[in-house]
Every structure is written in C-alpha cells, then in structure tokens.
Chains A and B, each alone.
Chain A
Amino acid sequence: MGEGPPILTVRLSKTYGKTVHALVGLDLRVEPGEVFGYLGPNGAGKSTTIRLLLGLIRPSGGTATLFGLDSWRQAVEAHRRVGYLPGDLRLSDRLTGEEQLESLARLRGGVDERLRAALCVRLGVVLDRPIRQLSKGNRQKLGIVQAFMHRPALVVLDEPTSGLDPLLQSEVRALIRETASDGRSVFLSSHSLDEVQHVADRVGIIRSGSLADVDSVESLRERSLRPVTITFADAADPEPFAAVAGVRVVGVDGAILRLAAPEPAMDALVKAAAMRTVVDFVSQPADLEEIFLELYREPDGGD
C-alpha cells in the first residue's frame, strides 16, 4: 500500500453557499515526526481545515489526504490512525470520566488499557465523577487522553490547552514532543502563538481562509524583532543604530534608547553601542507574537 505523508492537502477549499469562502486553495504538507502549529485568529478557517482533514465536511474543491487516504472518501480507514481533540469538546454528561473513556475505547477497538491508564495518571484525570460535574479543564483532560490513548500516527488537536492551568499546559506540550520524537505527527491549531512556539517545528499562519505564511519556528524567530534597550552614561544618539539593517528605533528617552532588532543585527548593534559608555544593555527574547501581529496588520495597511 502506497504510504503518503500524514497530512497532504492540495488546493483544498470549502465554500458555504455561494459566497462564504471559509477556506481557499490550501496547500499543506505535514511530515512524519513533525509538530505543525496552525495559527490564526478565531474564524480564520482553522476549524474548517481540521473538519475537512477529518472528513466531517466535504471539500468544495481540492483534496485532503491522510497517509495517502482521501479524508472524505476513505475517512474510516484514515481515522484508525488519527487521534482528534475537537475545539469544542462535548462529552456525555451523565457518564463518569472512566465510563466515557471506556466507551470511546470500545468504539475505537484495540486500545491499550495500560497506556490509557498511564495518560490518566500523568494528566491527573478525574475518573470517578460524572462529567457534568467536571470543570472545563478536567473535561479537556479527558479529551486529550482519548486523542492519544491508541498511539495514533497523527494527532489533530484543536486548541488543546484551552482551559488548562500552566502546569498541565507544559505537560501536554511534553506529550506532544514525545509523540513527535516517536516519529508520529501532531497537527496543532491555536489562536495564540504562545501555545505553539515552544512545541511546533513549523508554523502555518492562516488569515481569512487562506494560508498567509508557513515557516519554521526558528526562522520566524530570526525574522522577528527583539526588543533591545540600551542605557548610556549620557544622552543617547539614535543615528548610528538606525543605520543598521533591519533595526527600528522605537524611542529615545534621555540616556535610554529603545530598539527593535532582528537576531542578525545584534553584532552591529553591540559594536555601535561600544563606541560610547554603556550603563546597561538588555536584549529580550523575540516573541513570535510580534511577527504574528505584523502579518495581521498587513491587510489593514491598504484600507
């Protein structure tokens, strides 16, 4: 059997009615062992993409395949190899966590009970109470367990850490990284860069139904601007710094100079600063949030 990549979409589109273009011509490829972050604001088409990948809705154009299996026509075969956490997880309120997981395990068939139990312990899942009594975070944990419990070759997570406290968020990130180091793949959607930048290998950014950019987290980080603050012994002069390629002067406040600079400009900045007496030099880590915002600002520029 010809084995395709975990996710491959070719000009994948979804149109509702005649006028609502929820997704336009998406080309995406996710490799084995890769964590792919899928970023965009609410309503940009993230969930539409995921629902197309899982064959819940039918493409209006183009194709989506999982491991070479058409996600609409061969959905059942594809689903054997996929774990899915919906963005808006709804469980059976009357069941206890344990009963819900057991029911889902029977529905899937062939789930390793020890792995399921280990995941429950690791995430601290509440198993003995009816689901209607559980907080959003505790429900979300059940959703995460069922997405990973059968060791799927591809895990699709729609906003996985929403409702989880920071400790659990990092536990889930660790789970995602381990999955990838197993050679399995994770497709992770989020509206927050924070959720994705520490875990994803590559990031795709979607904006009003089309893919704006795909890049590695590293390269995005290189392109993104770091906040740099230099404090001099006397009044600061922005001139020599503004001349360095890629650097933007954010503000001058007496002896304090604030800049935004990409990683490759650092050496030139330090050398320029060294011409004067420096009291303090602070360079903060780049936050991808910056580039994210840059990308979103672009369409507004023409208005």
Chain B
Amino acid sequence: MAATELLRRGVRDHRRALAAWCVGVIGYVALVTAIFPSIHGSPEFKQLAENYPEVLKSFFGIGAGGDITTGAGYIDIELFSLMLPLLVLVMAVGSGARAFAGEEDAGRLELVVAYPVRRRDAVLAKGAAVAAEVLAVSAVAGLALLVLDPIAGLDLRAGRLLGAIVSLAVLGLLFGWLALAVGAAFGSRALAIGLPAALGAGGYLVNGLHGLAAWLDPFRLLSPFWLVGSSPLQSGVDGLGLVAVLALGLVVLGAGSLLVERRDLETP
C-alpha cells in the first residue's frame, strides 16, 4: 500500500523530465537515421572509417567485423556504442540520485519516513520508479528505431534490436540503482551522482581500450559495457553478461536499502 504510493509518486514527480528525455531520444535517433541513406553502401565512408585512429575504432567497434555502411553497423556505431548508453545513463543516474538523496536534501523525506513506511521499502519503491523510467526511455529508443527502420532502409533484425534495447535498459538499471543506493546509504546527492558517473566513465574507457593495452585487458571483466557487449546489432548481446549486470544492479539496490536503515536522516 505505502510502497505502491511511493512508486506512483516517484514516477509522477519525474514525469516531466521523463517526457523531455523521451522527446530528446526520439529526436536524436531520428537525426541519426535520417543521415544513414547517404552513407549506406558508400565505399568512401567505409574507407574513411577504416582510416580512423585505432583508439576511435576500438571505442566504436569499427573494423573487427564492424561495417559503418550497413544499417546494423551504422546504428551500432552511431547509437549503441556511445550516445544511447550515455543518454540513458545520465537520465538514470539523475533520477536515482534525485529519488532519495535529492528528496532528503530538499527536506521532503522527513515526513515520509515519519509515516509507517519502512525505509528499505521506500528505497525499493523508488528503485521500481527508476526502473520504470529507464525501461520507458529504452523502449522509446527501440520503438523509434523500429518505426524509422523501413523509412531509412536500415534493415535491422528485430531480435537483435530487442537484445540491444534490453542491454541498454540493463546498463541504465545498474547505474540508476547505483545512484539511488549510494544516495540512500550516504544521504549525499553529490556522491550519488559522482560515484556512478566516475564508475560509468571508467567502465566505458576500459571497454573501449582493453584491446589496445594488454595490462588493461583483464579489467574488461569489471566493465558492464564489456559484459553486455557493445555491438549488439552486429554481434548480438551476451545473455550471461546481461544477467550478471542485472544481478549486480539488484545487489547494489539491496545493499542501499539495508544501509539506509542504519543511518541518521539528514536535516536540510
């Protein structure tokens, strides 16, 4: 009862921001797909992409089977290797940080916690609200691609696209829940944004560079981006990696919901 109300309120409080994110994602996806017809099958572009520095090629999955002039390769490189994960992660971390630490900073949590509501249930309900937002933005990106595919002639495989969207959502869940959990455990909004941002950037770098630096290679196992796979439309996603990242997200959320029971609530 109380938990459903918190979930409902959590979604409601962020609905404007969520709508703005969805519009932004649709716009970006539309822009990227609109450019595709002029690249499609062009040998000059293929040549250009292959002449990129190794670092960039490594980051965007060019070469190694990646072909920017095919629909799948183009969308992988232009959307799934950086921009969509970045957009979803920024949205998820912002939402997760606001959901608990932000409410606490604003002094609005005091009344809620003085109601007959377990703190851990409040954190889990907020976690469900963050999940709903992440799933919504990811689904919107997927739907936009599905609708634009025939117009731009991307020729994507529906199953691969679904996998790509699921992996996008799972990455969003991990970082959104991390922000929520850090905020719940420590009551600091700055830390709730900063820690996931740092870990996200680190994980992204490791995934992009591990092939170029041998000493970095073992660390790829720690990167959620590597675990889910960064060319989802061309090479598919790693199911086991997805499950591992989702499980990690749940563990983080669970830890946050336990730690919040032990600390003093901050006064604004």
Contacts and interface: CB of A to CB of B under 8 A. Distances in A.
Interface stretch (B62-70, B108-116, B174-182, B191-199): B108-116
Contacts of A88: 107, 267-268
Given A56-B110, A76-B116, A86-B111, A107 B13 contact: no
Contacts of B110: 56, 86, 90
Given A54-B114, A76-B118, A106 B1 contact: yes
Interface in B97-136: 106-108, 110-118
A84 B118 contact: no
Interface in A59-91: 76-77, 79-80, 82, 84, 86, 88-91
Contacts, number: 69
Interface residues of B, number: 25
B7 to A, nearest CB: 11
A16 to B, nearest CB: 9
Nearest to A82: B114
B262 to A, nearest CB: 8
B264 A107 contact: no
B9 A56 contact: no
A84 B263 CA distance: 20
Contacts of B267: 47, 51, 88
A79 B122 CA distance: 15
A8 to B, nearest CB: 19
Contacts of B265: 51, 56-57
A92 B13 CA distance: 8
B192 to A, nearest CB: 19
Given A51-B267, A88-B268, A91-B108, A107 B117 contact: yes
Contacts of A51: 265, 267
A56 B114 contact: yes
Contact of B115 (A89, A92, A104): A104
| B interface majority secondary structure | loop
Contacts of A107: 2, 5-6, 112, 115, 117
Contacts of B113: 54-56
A38 B111 CA distance: 20
A276 interface: no
A84 B114 contact: yes
A132 interface: no
Contacts of A47: 267
A58 interface: yes
A281 to B, nearest CB: 51
A55 to B, nearest CB: 8
A108 interface: yes
Nearest to A16: B264
A90 B2 contact: no
Contact of A103 (B9, B114, B118): B9
Nearest to A109: B1
A28 to B, nearest CB: 19
Contacts of B264: 56-58
6 contacts: A56-B264, A77-B116, A88-B267, A92-B108, A106-B1, A106-B5
